[in-house]
Amino acid sequence: MSITSNTADESDCVFIEMIFPERANHYGTLYGSNGLEMLGRAAFVAASRHARKSIVMAAADKIEFHSPVPVGSLLESSATVIRTGRT
């Protein structure tokens, strides 16, 4: 796994991960819950960098998988803080 920050805002992040067989379903593609975990991890890093304190994920709006990710692929997940709140 690789984490990079190529933007001016230090809270932005990009994760790059190789998809191994243990993260795949019986079709040989990334299992949906593992994909959500990767997205959640990127969101956590971006939010933690932004807040500089403890945070929790309250919601995730409209996640769509447009195509399967086969074993052996590199998956890039990026996260950017677009809004903050207090609840």
Sheet of 2-4, strand order: 2-4, 13-18, 74-79
The pTM of the full predicted model, rounded to 2 decimals, is 0.77
Strands, E, within 2-62: which ranges? 2-4, 13-18
62, 2 Cβ separation under 8 angstroms: no
Q: What domains are there in the chain, each with its CATH number?
A: 2-79 (3.10.129.10)
Per-residue model confidence as pLDDT tens digits over 37-70? 999 999 999 999 999 988 888 888 888 999 999 9
Q: How far apart are CA 26 and CA 57, in angstroms?
A: 30
Per-residue model confidence as pLDDT tens digits over 62-87? 889 999 999 999 999 999 988 887 76
